[in-house]
Structure 1
């Protein structure tokens, strides 16, 4: 581990001031950053501890929620309003990690966690454009069973590891940030970046900016939601494919549909093409399958992950069937 300076932030202004230092990193629960520092995949020269900043969940009058970035994942998943109004989020968080990690991990840290690509972590033996731009990507021709099928590039095929973010994407979550230039609000779907030719630029968060809260808009009455994670083993494994779905059905017709996929791209993948095809259509298996095929038309498999395309189609159809009374 490389030497670094440690700063304990007393408030948001304090955190932003220290976060503006060159090569600074924010430390919440430390469940990702500390691991990265141990293997030297991350080498901040300053660590800003934000673990003592205010962390609360506020219920809004319209039925939405405001979630502090320092809220622990366990607290969020167990909050009564989340379990009753946004069950897709509770299920995604519980699917995401062990209880010990959920007890430490924060909402802001979960959003900003980095890929678990083994080539990214293998500092001494693998080329990785995320660590060293222009170095190359060994995953493209390497063991790439768990890598991206959507939105990838020749420079990077890594996937985003968060389950929580997939649910937040389907819920139209909005992220509030504070930085040297002031405050701003960003849809979560715009926060993470696809790799293109700059995979080291993983998000739209500017240097020194701190996520302060996440806002969930209310869901209409009669809305149902679910999260399905398909993985190699029942626990402590990242998604091969996951689906977060939020739907509203009236008289057999899908009046509102929101879908997001995990395990398939460098960011939580909002399935806009499928949503457009599904809205206003009958809730049938044929419609679900056609929408899933349309969404995955642009998928590009690597040597080892062709199965992900079929798996994603089937998982989309299964989750939609679950939410619409078993049509699939």
Structure 2
């Protein structure tokens, strides 16, 4: 029975992020399918962060948020399906056929290695001390129908919410998926989210490789193959990138390190290759900042710092302040969250 639930969860997840990612795009534009999936994942995380925080601060029940977010998400997806379903049928078929026609031996070998790594995460499980906080928080959320009102490690009612974790409620996202498909958060985290997030990490690296080797398509497979080899043999410390992508990919900090920061680099590289001056990926960077804020409290500072430094260099190169202004706008949610964190840390704001 759990295998059937897992199948429908993965199917729902892929279809949801596809129709979220394609929403708002012109049918005449040319864009890769992998980029649509990446945009959909970012929009899913960003919308979750925006909607869940007011419910947490108001100490509302988790079930209230669950039904409200389900209603919003389903409404948006249905609208996107009605608008893009007929076009998507032809578009996906054309993109898949094009990908198969350009498939070479190195790329096929890289895909096999990626599937192997994902299967290892699905059938085997890594445990560490972070399970006592992240998975336990998701389980406590479902058990008590509250969000950050009970200590995950002891079960004691907390007088104030933990400022370190409450602004990045990625465990609530795990609990949301668990309630949606009647699966325990441990199964969601270790068996489903872990391989999915690893797959998305390699999806981002595929997009980066397609920019680096734009005129040498055969090199993308070699790039991914070398990357897979280094990732498999890269577990020399618990802080290496290989550890986060292959061992701890279900954790929010791993999503930040393995997916969101490389995604930011991809979008910045893509804009640098365009011939349009003063252009800045406003929508993508805004989704990135909100998604990073959801998955990890470090993302509230790290990703805006990366975007801000890139915007400054971009302004110096183009001799214009327009990219910096757009960057500040896209980073404004993280700035607000930093202020809220400081207020909570010093007792000025106690939800």
TM-score for the superposition, normalised by structure 2: 0.31
Higher strand share: 1
Instruction: Give 1 or 2: higher helix fraction.
Output: 2
